[in-house]
Amino acid sequence: MGLRVVSRAVAAAAAAALAAVAATAGPVSTTAAAAPAAATVAAPTLRLVDAADTPGKLDLRSVRLTQSGGSLALTFRVNEPFAVSELSGTADRIVCVDIIPRGHPARGERVCLIGGGGRHALYRLPLARGGPRPKFVAARVRHIRRGAKVTFGYARIGLRAERIDWSAVSTWKGRGACRNLCHDSVPNRGRAAWAIDAFTIDGCTAAGPSQRFAGPAGGNMVALTFDDGPSVYTPQVLSILNRYGVHATFFEIGRQVGPLAATSRAVIRDGDVIGDHTWSHPDLTVQNTAAQVRPTQAAIYHATGFRPCLLRPPYGIAPAGVVGVVRSLGLLTIQWDVDPSDWSRPGAAVIARRVLRAVRPGSIVIMHDGGGDRSETVQALGTIVPVLLGRGYHLVTVPQLLGLRPAYAYRR
């Protein structure tokens, strides 16, 4: 569905109408048991099912609230075929979720779906006097059979990792079944107990073609990559990246990670990504690939808590059989389309010139932060980064360039 632009007048009408509906909210109910304080494997999620108890199109049949990193996804299904475009933006046809942080009723809010996506997809209202100020909230909205999935950043509505009580509510004009407006809520009484968990990005998820040489040209993105670390030069590379607020991908050699574990942790802490560059940098064959990849994965995870989904084959040698083995281990094979041959130490100016001359939207640039004296690469990077930014490029990690989904680890 396209963006449904809702005027401030409509929003004001929604605020007035929904304020009355908010008064019908029930007391908190602990219908869902609290989870233990421990690491979780799956994303926190809670699905509630409701019987067909109020005749009409927006009678809620099921609702699900799921966390994915810093986002919440509300998925709901209703009794009859439904399109997001049918929502009015006012209380006569609307679906909302009420969220109250445990122990902080003044922060309670009602978040309502009023559009088909974009900056005006949601409208947030307070549930109590003096609560959060009304505002539009951006969201992604996907239509599903008899319902919708609405995804939004929970920090945008003032939430954090905390316990909450929530319920879904809908209202619509009835045809004889209700006196004025029909209402439904899930659960039928009270609210369900849940929690937004603290999380870390602990990896990425391989998807799409198994071997990549570049990313899509759309978005004006470029991925800088560095091989053969970690080393004494890696912190210098990180310093330049941090200076300009950009990120890169580091393909690390397994046997070097243990002695320089703090450096690998700094890569992840700064928001960059680590990929697998084998244990000892040999030519890969079908016979030796698993033995080179698995211990490197283990070393990186032990040092950083990050699980790579990318592998850079040494020297770029990756026969079809090797690419297949790598994919069976859950990784993509990442090559490159821009190579300044910085390993040969041609001089910082030459390295910078080669990169800047060859780079295109979607490029993957290979450089080195280990394997020898990399002072020229560090010096060249101080030129490459600001020039690319000045050309309008966004310097991102390989997973970001390829649109790979992050993997999260949650802790209560």
Q: Would you say residue 36 has pLDDT above 90?
A: no
On whether the CB atoms of residues 220 and 393 are closer than 8 A, the answer is yes
Confidence band for 20, pLDDT divided at 50, 70 and 90? very low
Angle between helices 320-328 and 289-304 (to 10 degrees): 40
User: Whats the size of the chain, residue-wise?
Assistant: 412
Tell me the per-residue pLDDT of 38-48, one tens digit each, with 9 for 90 and over: 444 578 999 99
- Domains, the chain, ranges and CATH? 8-196 (2.60.40), 204-411 (3.20.20.370)
Tell me the per-residue pLDDT of 63-118, one tens digit each, with 9 for 90 and over: 999 999 999 999 999 988 878 887 766 667 889 999 999 999 999 999 999 877 78
Tell me the per-residue pLDDT of 252-265, one tens digit each, with 9 for 90 and over: 999 999 999 999 99
Structure confidence at residue 18 (pLDDT): 45
Q: Which residue, chain included where needed, has tokens 């809702």?
A: 6
Structure confidence at residue 206 (pLDDT): 96
Strand partners, 373: none
Question: Which residues are catalytic, by number?
Answer: 227, 368
Q: Specify the 3-state DSSP secondary structure of 210.
A: coil
Confidence band for 175, pLDDT divided at 50, 70 and 90? low
The terminus-to-terminus CA distance of the chain in angstroms comes to 36
Tell me the per-residue pLDDT of 113-172, one tens digit each, with 9 for 90 and over: 987 778 889 999 999 999 999 999 999 999 998 899 999 999 999 999 999 999 999 988
Lowest mean pLDDT of 3-12, 132-141, 372-381, name the range: 3-12
Q: Would you say residue 227 has pLDDT above 90?
A: yes
Percent of the chain with pLDDT over 90: 73
Write out the H or E segment, with its range, that includes residue 186.
strand 181-186
Tell me the per-residue pLDDT of 103-113, one tens digit each, with 9 for 90 and over: 999 999 999 99
Q: Specify the 3-state DSSP secondary structure of 302.
A: helix
Q: Would you say residue 15 has pLDDT above 60?
A: no
C-alpha distances in angstroms, 230 versus 21, 112, 252, 266? 58, 48, 6, 10
Q: What is the DSSP letter of 120?
A: E
Structure confidence at residue 88 (pLDDT): 66
Q: What is the DSSP letter of 412?
A: -
What single-letter amino acid sits at 366? I
Percent of the chain with pLDDT over 70: 88
Mean predicted lDDT score pLDDT of the chain: 88
